[in-house]
A and B are shown apart, each in its own frame.
Chain A
Amino acid sequence: MGEKRLITFSISKHRFAAPIDEIREVVSADAVMPVPGARRPLLGLLPYRGHTVLPVFSLLDLLGDRSGESGNLVIVAASPGGPVGFRVRQMGGVMMLSAGEQEVVPYEGDLGAGTGAVTALLKRTGGEYIILDIGKLFTS
């Protein structure tokens, strides 16, 4: 396995990184429409590419953190059932991750316990990033 590019973003106090091939784009959250009777983690639906909508979720809720968060951006990610969105506070950037990188360590926190969606922790100068496998959030 060679190098992998990760896209980074932050929600609440957490910083995340996800393989860039799981992310389709980042769009404004202004048009998110609430769904009557919906429960978290579902935050609403977002018109997407013409006459379709995608569901927008709270990523922290899906990972078991009920503290809530807000943000003006939606990351659109691929999932087995079609594209989904996650509301995020801020985009970070793109990082390269090499196979066997020493900075990748097992994640020992509580986020995502039992989902398989948190795969590791990436320690870089300036901060730690929780590495996600977004597809796992919708397959359990």
Chain B
Amino acid sequence: MADRIVIVRVGAYLLSLPFAQIDEILGPDRAVTGSGVPEEVLSRDPSATRWISSRRRWLPVGKILPGQESGDAAQIVVVRGGGTGRAFMVDQVLGIESAGAISPFPDAARPYTDIPFAGVRFWKDRPVLELDLSGLISLDRGNRRIG
């Protein structure tokens, strides 16, 4: 059965996101820095540098990949998972498409990457890694606590 996915580019990498967990895809002009953000929101997550208002709530805008450039995000993807929401910068949204079944991310590879991948989809005959959005949100929150 085909699932709908969102294909994004982050740096040199193509990644897929499950469409069912996407709330919104917004332009970078929607993100704001400190001014305009309610004080209680800023104090809730002081390590965040950019924020976005989505569906009447403020979410910090995070990075998907370590080392990802933050200056020129082309779009911001608002996702949900694990009972909460988060926004992430991407360089390009390539499309919303149907894709075949997901293949699991190989167990032997998991110890060697910190990024939570759900598996691999084949899109136009090329493999694209699919992010585990609940894991990514959890990781982003953890990083902020440490930071």
Chain A residues in contact with chain B, CB under 8 A?
Answer: 33-42, 45, 47, 51-55, 57, 79, 81-82, 84, 138
Say yes or no: A37 contacts B65, CB within 8 Å: yes
- Determine the residue in chain B with the shortest Cβ distance to A44: B109
Say which size band chain B's interface belongs to: 20 to 34
User: Could you tell me the distance between the alpha carbons of A36 and B13 in the complex, rounded to whole angstroms?
Assistant: 7
User: Could you tell me the distance between the alpha carbons of A119 and B13 in the complex, rounded to whole angstroms?
Assistant: 39
Residues of chain B lying within 8 A (CB to CB) of residue A38: 109, 112-113
- For residues 94 through 147 of chain B, which have their beta carbon under 8 Å from a beta carbon of chain A? 100-101, 103, 106-109, 112-115, 117, 120, 122, 126-127, 129
User: Could you tell me the distance between the alpha carbons of A47 and B66 in the complex, rounded to whole angstroms?
Assistant: 25
User: Could you tell me the distance between the alpha carbons of A53 and B129 in the complex, rounded to whole angstroms?
Assistant: 10
Distance to closest chain B CB from A137 (angstroms): 9
Distance to closest chain B CB from A39 (angstroms): 5
Say yes or no: B127 contacts A47, CB within 8 Å: yes
- Determine the residue in chain B with the shortest Cβ distance to A51: B122
Say yes or no: A53 contacts B108, CB within 8 Å: no
Residues of chain A lying within 8 A (CB to CB) of residue B126: 47
Say yes or no: A42 contacts B10, CB within 8 Å: no
Chain B residues in contact with chain A, CB under 8 A?
Answer: 10-11, 13, 15, 65-66, 100-101, 103, 106-109, 112-115, 117, 120, 122, 126-127, 129
User: Could you tell me the distance between the alpha carbons of A54 and B120 in the complex, rounded to whole angstroms?
Assistant: 10
Say yes or no: B108 contacts A55, CB within 8 Å: yes
Query: A39-B113, A51-B103, A53-B120 in contact; A33/B108 too (CB < 8 A)?
Result: no
Query: A42-B113, A51-B100, A53-B103 in contact; A36/B129 too (CB < 8 A)?
Result: yes
Say yes or no: A37 contacts B108, CB within 8 Å: no
Residues of chain A lying within 8 A (CB to CB) of residue B100: 51
Query: A35-B129, A40-B112 in contact; A55/B106 too (CB < 8 A)?
Result: yes
User: Could you tell me the distance between the alpha carbons of A47 and B125 in the complex, rounded to whole angstroms?
Assistant: 10
Tell which of A36, A39, A40, A82 touches B106, judged by Cβ atoms closer than 8 Å: A82
